[in-house]
Structure 1
Amino acid sequence: MSDPNESLSLPKRTTPTWEMELLLSGATVFAMFQATQAVTEWGARLLPRLADNPRMFASVLFTYGNGALTLLTLAFLLHLTLRAYWVALVGINSVYPEGPRFDRLRVGPIQRELVRSRWRALSDRIESADNAATVVFALGISLALILVPISAVVTLFYLVAAVGSWLAGKPELTSLVFGLLSGLAFLPFWIATTLDKRRGERWSEGGWMHRACTAMLRTYTRLGMGRDSNPMVMVFSTNIGERKGMVIVFIAMFGAMLGSTVQLALSRDQLGMGSYADFPDPRRGMASSLDGRSYASMQEPGQLPNAPFLPSPVSRGDYLLLVVPYVPMLHGELFARCRRQAEAAVADEDARAARQLACVGAGITVTLDGQPAAIGPEWYSDPRRDLRGLAWMLPVSTLAKGRHELVVLPPAAPANEREAGPGEDAPQPWRIPFWR
């Protein structure tokens, strides 16, 4: 006869670490949500302000770093959900230790028999939920840790590629060199692994192929690329089937990377998701439109704007300040070309800066009510939020009361980046209405 108090205690096969799992997940899941949001906002502000090569490097690190945070957050959240389900099963088993009363089901005999045949004992369900929660907890942490050495390797390879390309006087080849370095670094490991899997059993233990392959695999294993470098993943994959385990690991990591990318994309789209089917698609240069991002008084606190803006929609003074933030991916080619021209023309630093300013100002067209701006720009910097760019102080005292419009036309794309076809390389203007 079974002990009547047995249902009031935890099952004997309960994972011994369940209390620590709950403590860690419960204490950190909310902090992980905040950290993921903070990193995403930081990436959305920083990445557009970087030049091509640094932007690529930062994007890769952001994807891996934020992917690890996203993976941990989702793993802890799923773990808490599974643990809550497990607690509920343990609780209901303690209240009704006899299980379901099939004779009280108000169904026909066929359905009653079907339910009885498919029923799993609560003790089995409790054990399954307990095991699933522990596996999710372990895999979440181990997969996040996998991304740490990947980030370190990517950083090292990219720095080597950047330094090598710079020394060769070809910084534009950094991405290509980085790809070649990555391929060459992992090619020997892939070759050794493939040969060992397909022909390893045919080699004699003292043969040179066996010794060479052993040395190669031992070297990469010491660098953290061996199957035993992550014990939790190895135990999991070898117990449920290596192919199935690797598929689950790949899906989890791919989901984390995709989630990181989607978070960044949504953070840039302030409109977000919603039912806006009947509303015109907001776009740059849209006529008769007012975009709150075009006015400093409407921007979010701490936001780093990447589009021209005015102080507010209403101008009350004699002058109107127009700021065009410097965005490397948009203005980088123009600024670099003007800098080179200025350095070739004059030697004095102040004179070079003035010449570069005039060149840049000529490359960015500003019109007020259809007429070109009467004055040129000045260098602009805002130390409160590390913002740099150009500023036009436009005289507006003689303008009539009512609506007026500023149009800022950015520089055209470099010739080597333009797409073929008529009109496809024409830059889209910014339209900023204001009122007097």
Structure 2
Amino acid sequence: MNESPAAEPVVPASHAEPEQEASTRFGRLRERTDELELFISGLLAFALLAVPGYLFDIWARSSLHTEGMYFQVLWFAFSISVGMCYVLAVALIAHLTVRGYWIGLVGLKSHFPKGIDWDHLPQMGPVSRAFMRARDGGLDGSIQRADRLATMLFSTTLMSVQTLAGTLILAIIALGLAMLVSVPFGGSEAVALVFLSAVLLALLAYGLAPAVLEKMIGRRQARGMPTDRLQRLLQRALAGLQRVPLLRLMQTMQLTMQSNLRSRFFMVGYMVAIVAAMLLGGLQVAGSVKFSLFNRYQVITGEAVDHGMLSAHYESMRSAHDQLLPYPMIPSDTVSATQLRLFIPHRPQRDNTLARERCTQLPGGQNDARGAAAATAAVDCLAQLWTVQLDGRPVDLHAFVPMERRDLDMRGLAGYLPMAGLAPGRHDLHLLWNAGGPTRGGDRRREYFIPFWYAPDP
């Protein structure tokens, strides 16, 4: 006699219908997930590559007017935002590539359901055919792997962007609080940095606390010691972290991927992507300041052109590549007029520190004078920081005037040097900032050479 199969549990109709409806809705949503991924990736991938250029222009213009903590806020916002754009764009392009490969495989599956026909590969020998066949997963396996890789790329990209956005928000809040705390101390950078370091260390300790408490609980349980107090402390720490909306938003996605992949390798790759994103902004700035990041100039070196001609010194030759080079400048390399305008930019990030030390007529380096006295005080202060010579003869900077150049987005000193008495041909301007300064560091001694050719009108 045949045994009847075990009876399956009967699910009441009232419970089965909602579960079946939910499963159907999820299935339809899953079918559209690939379309949504492609739509989002295609919309954002290439558009994001243009955003860093606009962010760089905004940062370059703004950074010339700031110093200290204000500069740090701008720099952190710029570097994180640029890194976020590049990481998101590159990852989405990779996602589009994988999805394109996946679409090709699905198309092949629809036309060739059986996949590879190994019997119709006469150009492949039996050994090669057996080797490849043993390692081929077939169309179904390739489709599944491509789909899995694309989904992981998309999810990891979102996690990286969320992490960078959270880091940016946290950094701006911490820097803002540091600046507020330093106000009663005259805006001291030292006080702000101490407060900022304390806040960051406290946040780091709080983030590591759950892992440390778990280890302590495990050791005490192994020794048979009570852990109720530590468990309550751990639960409170976790509850505090759960109150951060961004962490709660990332939790499900991160833990799902971390638990289904190799946890250690996933976290290493994830952190490498975050660090690389934060370094991309610095790489873009370095690429703008340097003539070329990769070059083989062994004869006309950087030292040679520093004592030759730099386009940043001539207003007619300056370009977007010279945006971060606020060098002293003249209108052109050839002069025909009887007066030569020399503009010496004032850079707060560099000049303010030195002004606090040397400009004793300005308490704390702050020019609080009004009217014409303000202009005189500004000239007198910057004249102590700069030394100018024309063909070896000193130039009196007290005859210069403060000037605002909106075409260059700079302020500085402007003076007009008489050309009368100069012979036609080459002449040289030599400018020196902080003559007694060290050879290294932000306040190091800096020299500028500006050759020009005087060709008076006949």
Work out whether the TM-score is over 0.5. yes
1:332 corresponds to which residue? 352
| Separation of aligned partners in 2, 1:304 and 1:425 | 17
| Separation of aligned partners in 2, 1:402 and 1:228 | 69
CA contact (8 A) 1:43 1:264 kept: no
| Separation of aligned partners in 2, 1:365 and 1:284 | 22
1:274–1:363 Cα change, 3 Å: closer
Q: 2:176 aligns with which of 144, 159, 175?
A: 159
1:195–1:122 Cα change, 3 Å: same
For 1:409, the aligned partner's letter is L
| Separation of aligned partners in 2, 1:50 and 1:347 | 18
- State whether structure 2 residue 226 is matched by structure 1 residue 220: no
1:285–1:299 Cα change, 3 Å: closer
| Equivalent position SS for 1:17 | helix
TM-score by length of 2: 0.81
2:401 corresponds to which residue? 378
2:18 corresponds to which residue? none
- State whether structure 2 residue 86 is matched by structure 1 residue 86: no
Deviation at 1:46, TM superposition (A): 3.7
1:248–1:296 Cα change, 3 Å: same
1:279–1:231 Cα change, 3 Å: farther
5 Å-filtered alignment, 1:277-426, equals 277-283=297-303, 286-287=306-307, 289-300=308-319, 303=323, 305-337=325-357, 340-343=360-363, 349=370, 350-374=372-396, 376=398, 377-412=400-435
| Equivalent position SS for 1:19 | helix
| Separation of aligned partners in 2, 1:60 and 1:83 | 34
Unpaired runs of 5+ residues, structure 2, are 1-27
1:209 corresponds to which residue? 230
For 2:337, the aligned partner's letter is G
5 Å-filtered alignment, 1:38-57, equals 38-47=54-63, 49-57=65-73
| Separation of aligned partners in 1, 2:336 and 2:187 | 50
Residue deviations 1:263-304, cap 9 Å, x none?
2221222x22454334422248733x2211111111126946
Q: 2:201 aligns with which of 165, 178, 183?
A: 183
- State whether structure 2 residue 254 is matched by structure 1 residue 240: no
For 1:42, the aligned partner's letter is I
| Separation of aligned partners in 2, 1:244 and 1:347 | 58
Q: 1:61 aligns with which of 58, 65, 77?
A: 77
TM-score by length of 1: 0.85
- State whether structure 2 residue 158 is matched by structure 1 residue 141: yes
Question: Relative contact order (alpha carbons < 8 A, sep ≥ 6): 1 or 2 greater?
Answer: 1
- State whether structure 2 residue 130 is matched by structure 1 residue 113: yes
For 1:321, the aligned partner's letter is R
Q: Structure 1 stretch 403-412 or stretch 259-268: which is displaced more?
A: 259-268
| Separation of aligned partners in 1, 2:46 and 2:229 | 55
2:149 corresponds to which residue? 132
2:212 corresponds to which residue? 194
| Separation of aligned partners in 1, 2:369 and 2:29 | 80
For 2:428, the aligned partner's letter is E
Residue deviations 1:104-141, cap 9 Å, x none?
24344322321221222022112211221122112212
Residue deviations 1:329-358, cap 9 Å, x none?
332223334555245999853435413412
1:343–1:191 Cα change, 3 Å: closer
1:332–1:347 Cα change, 3 Å: closer
1:25 corresponds to which residue? 41
Deviation at 1:245, TM superposition (A): 2.4
RMSD over aligned Cα, in angstroms? 3.2
For 2:259, the aligned partner's letter is T
Deviation at 1:255, TM superposition (A): 2.2
Unpaired runs of 5+ residues, structure 1, are 1-11
For 2:271, the aligned partner's letter is F
| Equivalent position SS for 2:431 | strand
For 1:235, the aligned partner's letter is T
| Separation of aligned partners in 1, 2:174 and 2:410 | 31
Q: Structure 1 stretch 357-366 or stretch 197-206: which is displaced more?
A: 197-206
How many residues align structurally?
418
Deviation at 1:374, TM superposition (A): 4.5
| Separation of aligned partners in 1, 2:446 and 2:406 | 29
Residue deviations 1:382-420, cap 9 Å, x none?
134431111121111322111111111112476xx7769
For 1:399, the aligned partner's letter is L
| Equivalent position SS for 1:114 | helix
1:227–1:374 Cα change, 3 Å: closer
Q: Is the radius of gyration larger for structure 1 or structure 2?
A: 2
1:426–1:337 Cα change, 3 Å: closer
